[in-house]
Chains A and B, each alone.
Chain A
Amino acid sequence: MSEPAQTLVLRSPRDNVDLVHGFLERLWVAHADIGELDRMAFETALIELVSNVIEHADTGHGVTCVIGVTVSATTLVANLSDTADAGEIQVVGRLMPSVAAESGRGIALVQMLVDDLQYERVGEKNLWSMSRNRVE
């Protein structure tokens, strides 16, 4: 059984990713059974995804991003909905750039840390979904 999703609304540029860290900190306290590796991996992936929205999707008008996280006995799921323009976003098969690169690692890291990553453009919104199968 999954509990109802915990929801956070982030408005950039007013808010930044520190808001997401605080949101997850509270979630981890409420779910002390989630293992360290799962917490670390999920938090890293979610921060990368939200950073990507803030950094690359904002065309100067600000972005509102609604983040819902659902915890079940077997999975950690995040659903994101943002109001940014549609970008040329490739979420599948992103390779880790060379060690000399100073950017471009975000989505590649997300892919390595979760079991499923989806993106679709629906109406005026970008919808993201990522799911990690708990190992602990």
Chain B
Amino acid sequence: MEFHTELLPEGIVAIAGEGRLNMVSAPELRAVVEKEIGAGHTRVVVDLSEIEFIDSSGLGALVGCLKGARQAGGDLRIAGPNKQVTMVLQLSNLDRVLKSYGTAGDAYRE
């Protein structure tokens, strides 16, 4: 999967992928997020609006990226999850730690 990175105002970075976030693509997401955190972009939003399916590998990648962002003093939030992604986040209790927003632009608007 190819992930697209976009810098938003206030140093926020939005990372968007398209398709399935599974054992094939999860390592790629980790690599992209690590690179952005390494570049100092520690306020991350992963735009899931074009992700049609996530599995436990994808969940693991999101948790790993969340830890990395927080260790660097930032955060990781998610945007636009579909019904399947929302179901899996709820079953795994990760909806408690991965804050979800309607769009990437909303993720840090508080």
Contact = CB atoms under 8 A, between A and B. Distances in A.
A57 B24 CA distance: 17
B35 interface: no
B63 interface: yes
A44 B64 CA distance: 21
B91 A96 contact: yes
Contacts, number: 69
A67 B84 CA distance: 22
Contact of B55 (A102, A104, A106, A112): A106
Interface stretch (A2-10, A46-54, A68-76, A80-88): A46-54
A103 to B, nearest CB: 5
Contacts of A36: 83
Interface stretch (A15-23, A26-34, A116-124, A128-136): A15-23
Contacts of A17: 22-24, 55
A47 B56 CA distance: 9
A99 B56 CA distance: 12
Interface string B69-103: 00000000000000110011001111011000000
Contacts of B23: 16-17, 51, 54-55
B59 interface: yes
Interface string B1-37: 0000000000000000000101110000000000000
B40 interface: no
B64 A102 contact: yes
Contacts of A105: 56, 59-60, 92
Given A17-B23, A44-B84, A51-B22, A99 B97 contact: yes
A103 B96 CA distance: 17
Contacts of A102: 60-61, 63-64, 67
B53 to A, nearest CB: 7
Nearest to B87: A40
A-B complex: 6 closest residue pairs judged by Cβ atoms: A105-B56, A102-B60, A106-B56, A40-B84, A99-B97, A102-B64
Interface of B: 20, 22-24, 53, 55-57, 59-61, 63-64, 67, 83-84, 87-88, 91-94, 96-97
